Structure 1
Amino acid sequence: MTEFQTSWDTMLKCLQNRDRRRLLVALLGCDSEEHITVPEDIHTGERELSRLQIQLYHSHLPMLVDREYIQWNKENHIVEKGPNFDEIAPLVELIHQNQDGLPDDWI
């Protein structure tokens, strides 16, 4: 398998989950020194904030940290763009720009 295929598969896996997509879309508009607070900045009221936090902290954030798409300060509940964010940014931007044409549960 080539590096591109592995990278492509990795990016699509990271975009499989709506909470990860929301987080990455929220970071899209951030400058290099800006951040978002999790889970508050991506909470939409669909479920309890504490449940979202558990899912983010135990599954979604570690996955994105491992791929270096994000940097996560657990103590301050802060997430910012990681060194590899630019790798996934074109796909995230594509999703964001076309969200009106995507199913409701995509973002």
Structure 2
Amino acid sequence: MDTDWTGGNESAIDRWNQLHEALADESRRMVIYSLLDVPKERRLPLPEAAQSPNVSTDPETLQLQLEHHHLPKLADAGYIRWEHDPFCVQRGPCYEEVEIVFEQMIESLDQFPETLIGGCEIFEELHEAG
């Protein structure tokens, strides 16, 4: 399913609400995180790009969850584009909205309380490396 985001007349409040909803799930965060260091035109294979080191979900179950819930939500916000065959994802036209939030979080990890870092392998690794 190649999704083409056309935008809308959402207010800044609507966009922030969409952003919070998009980041409210680990699989969606992993998709966004996986795309951080790749060029806009590069596609990443799914479900691998959504697989969290914190949660063990079999690939078939994760693929179904991605196809029917997570990817449409991210695509509707314009954060990603995805295709079913081959099953892959790439940055969407509004990716920079989530990118800046992730970058700011990563840069500020030393200021986060341990309760928001401990148990999250990605943030633990980034915190130790920084």
What is the TM-score when the length of structure 1 is the normalising length?
0.85
Q: Which has the higher helix share?
A: 1
> How far did 1:96 drift?
4.3
Gap runs ≥5 in structure 2 = 1-9, 123-130
Distance in 2 (CA, whole Å) between partners of 1:40 and 1:52 is 9
Out of 2, 13, 17, which is 1:5 matched to?
13
What SS does the corresponding residue of 1:28 show, helix, strand or coil? coil
Identity %: 26
The RMSD of aligned alpha carbons is: 2.3
Aligned to 2:78: 68
Runs of 4+ in 1 over 6 A off after TM superposition: none
Is 1:82 matched with 2:97? no
Gap runs ≥5 in structure 1 = none
Question: Contact (CA 8 Å) 1:32, 1:81: kept in 2 or not?
Answer: yes
What is the TM-score when the length of structure 2 is the normalising length?
0.71
Distance in 2 (CA, whole Å) between partners of 1:4 and 1:41 is 28
Greater mean alpha carbon deviation, residues 74-83 or residues 85-94: 85-94
Q: How many residues in Structure 1 have an aligned counterpart in Structure 2?
A: 106
User: Which amino acid is 1:52 matched to?
Assistant: L
Q: Which structure: larger Rg?
A: 2
